């Protein structure tokens, strides 16, 4: 054929791929530097006991933030996590108080939280409600149901087997840290190594392309929010086991911590990209800051101010990295002319 071009020199394909990529290196360094700095300011911070304490306290946030990483990578958001946590733990406690054995009540709590998550996913997928508004609605509604259910009651007194999950140790390591670590490992595998993980990022990155490639977009959507519900139940379980109690206001303002951890970690708010390791670091970083502020005797309200500022700073840094801010990227390109 005339259009056939003559034999060409083979062109390079995939030749300059890096074998190993060091993702999250920057954030890891920040974390190490912060630990050293806080310890220098206050030697009490750097003790093994305090660090283990920080990790134990952050285990719930780490677990819920894993779910949030999937949600945000799918270009969604979930504001209702704190309310879901309150509602499912209150119902769980209610069942225990009513004399239900925990091996039955516990799976029911997980099922309830997953059903609440699936509900979020269903109204987002099938009623085309933006995730921000849908979960803003359920945030308020779930909290309302939790308040109705518990009628202002403070629950306490869990079976010892459950309390062990929050307060026990295995070979000197607190159980919540072990559970969180296992869940992080599972999330990493699910996110990076499975078809589901790729589909979540595909739907988040380009919904129409995902649909045209034959992916059942609504199914992915519902599954992601159901997974979020599971993470809330697991994180909630560790929390109520640690403090051996719950109430309908538990987990208020949790969503901002969890979303902050995810964004600080480097997951794009615009969807399509995410990093499990980054989220883990983000959650630990936030808790450490909190802990350092507490040790330094800073008032709780200042901690809220600090977190708010950190969220805005983290999104700004991500935007600069992704060249989303016109005037800054122009300055950057002027500084670094094309080679």
Partner 1 sequence: MQRQEAAVSTGEVLVAMRNLDKYYGGLRALAEVTLEIRKGEILALVGDNGAGKSTLIKTLSGAVEPDGGEILVDGRPVSFKTPKDATDAGIETVHQTLGLVDTLDVPQNVFLGRELTKKVFGLFPQLDQAAMRRRTHELLQRFAISLPTLNEPVHSLSGGQRQTIAISRLLLVEPKLLIMDEPMAALGVDEGSKVLDLVVKLRDEGLTILIISHNLEHVFAIADRIAVMKNGRLVAVVPSAATTREAVVGMITMGASGVRTEDRQWLS
Smallest gap from Cβ 74 to partner 1, in A, equals 11
**Helix (H) or strand (E) run with residue 161 in it:** helix 160-167
- In sequence order, which residues have a C-beta less than 8 Å from that of residue 195 and are 6 or more positions away? none
Interface stretch with partner 1, choices 12-20, 39-47, 167-175, 235-243 (CB under 8 A): 12-20
Q: Which of 153, 169, 211, 219 is in the footprint of partner 1 by CB under 8 A?
A: 211
Q: Which of 42, 47, 216, 316 binds partner 1 (CB under 8 A)?
A: 216
The residues near 146 (Cβ < 8 Å, ≥ 6 apart) are 83, 86, 87, 90, 248
Specify which residues 170 forms β-bridges with: 173
Core vs surface per residue 254-290: b (16+ CB within 10 A) or e: bbebbbbbbbbbbbbbebbbbbbbbbbbbbbbbbbbb
Nearest-angstrom CA–CA distance, 12 and 233: 49
Residue 20 touching partner 1 (CB under 8 A):
no
Q: Using the rule CB under 8 A, is 13 a contact of partner 1?
A: yes
Least separation, in Å, of the C-beta of 225 and partner 1? 20
Q: Is 1 in the site for partner 1 (CB under 8 A)?
A: yes
Residue 321: Cβ within 10 Å count: 10
Residues numbered 150 to 189 that lie near partner 1 (CB under 8 A) are 189
Block residue for tokens 């979960």:
135
Between 13 and 338, whose beta carbon lies closer to partner 1? 13
Between CA 82 and CA 146 the distance in angstroms is: 11
Per the CB < 8 A criterion, the answer to whether 205 and 322 are in contact is: no
Please choose, out of 23-31, 168-176, 242-250, 267-275, the segment that lies near partner 1 by the rule CB under 8 A.
267-275
> Among residues 177 and 220, whose Cβ is nearest to partner 1?
220
Select from 22, 49, 103, 195 the one that contacts partner 1 (CB under 8 A). 195
Binder of partner 1 out of 16, 171, 300, 339 (CB under 8 A): 16
272, 286, 287, 311: which one contacts partner 1 (CB under 8 A)?
Answer: 272
**313 lies in the site for partner 1, by CB under 8 A:** no
Distance CA 118, CA 100 (A): 25
Which residues on adjacent β-strands are paired with residue 174?
169
Strand-pairing partners, residue 8, are none
Binding status of residue 194 toward partner 1 by CB under 8 A: yes
Q: Which stretch binds partner 1 (CB under 8 A): 194-202, 229-237, 301-309, 330-338?
A: 194-202
Q: Which of 87, 215, 241, 264 binds partner 1 (CB under 8 A)?
A: 215
Buried b / exposed e along 145-154 (16+ C-beta atoms within 10 A):
bbbeebeeee
Least separation in angstroms between residue 77's CB and partner 1 is 17
Q: Does 198 bind partner 1 (CB under 8 A)?
A: yes
* Contact pick of 8, 20, 127, 297 for partner 1 (by CB under 8 A): 8
H-helix or E-strand spanning residue 267: none
Q: Which residues pair with 155 in a beta bridge?
A: 246
CB 210 within 8 Å of CB 217: yes
Q: Which of 56, 226, 268, 279 binds partner 1 (CB under 8 A)?
A: 268
Q: Does 338 bind partner 1 (CB under 8 A)?
A: no
Residues 275 and 225 sit within 8 Å (Cβ to Cβ): no
By the rule CB under 8 A, 12 interacts with partner 1: yes
Interface residue with partner 1 among 17, 127, 334, 338 (CB under 8 A) is: 17
Rounded least distance, CB 271 to partner 1, Å: 8
**DSSP 3-state assignment of 109?**
helix
**Residue 194 C-beta: closest distance to partner 1, Å:** 6
Phi, psi (rounded to 5 degrees) for 173: -100, 130
- Kindly determine how many residues on this chain lie close enough to bind partner 1 according to the rule CB under 8 A: 39
**What does the binding site for partner 1 look like in residue numbers (CB under 8 A)?**
1-5, 8, 10-18, 189, 193-195, 197-198, 201-202, 204-206, 208-216, 268, 271-273
């Amino acid at each position: 054929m005339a259009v056939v071009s003559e034999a060409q020199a083979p062109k390079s394909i995939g030749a300059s791929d890096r074998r190993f990529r060091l993702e999250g290196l920057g954030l890891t360094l920040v974390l190490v530097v912060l630990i050293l700095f806080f310890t220098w300011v206050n030697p009490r911070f750097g003790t093994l006991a305090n660090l283990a304490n920080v990790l134990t306290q952050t285990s719930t946030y780490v677990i819920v933030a894993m779910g949030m990483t999937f949600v945000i990578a799918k270009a969604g958001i979930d504001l209702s996590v704190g309310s879901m946590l309150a509602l499912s733990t209150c119902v769980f406690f209610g069942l225990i108080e009513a004399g239900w054995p925990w091996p039955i009540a516990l799976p029911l709590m997980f099922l309830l939280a997953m059903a609440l998550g699936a509900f979020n996913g269903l109204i987002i997928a099938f009623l085309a409600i933006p995730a921000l508004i849908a979960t803003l609605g359920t945030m308020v509604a779930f909290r309302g149901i939790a308040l109705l259910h518990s009628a202002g009651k403070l629950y306490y007194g869990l079976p010892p087997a459950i309390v062990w999950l929050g307060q026990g140790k295995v070979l000197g390591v607190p159980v919540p840290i072990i559970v969180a670590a296992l869940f992080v490992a599972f999330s990493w595998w699910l996110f990076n190594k499975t078809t589901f993980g790729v589909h979540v990022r595909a739907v988040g990155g380009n919904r129409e392309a995902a649909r045209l490639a034959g992916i059942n977009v609504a199914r992915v959507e519902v599954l992601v929010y159901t997974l979020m519900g599971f993470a809330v139940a697991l994180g909630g379980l560790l929390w109520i086991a640690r403090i051996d109690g719950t109430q309908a206001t538990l987990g208020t303002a949790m969503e901002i911590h969890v979303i902050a951890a995810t964004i600080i970690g480097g997951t794009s708010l615009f969807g399509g990209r995410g990093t499990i390791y980054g989220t883990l670091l983000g959650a630990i970083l936030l808790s450490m800051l909190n802990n350092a502020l507490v040790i330094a005797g800073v008032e709780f309200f200042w901690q809220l101010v600090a977190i708010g500022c950190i969220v805005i700073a983290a999104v700004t840094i991500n935007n600069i990295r992704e060249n989303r801010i016109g005037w800054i990227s122009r300055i950057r390109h002027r500084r670094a002319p094309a080679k």
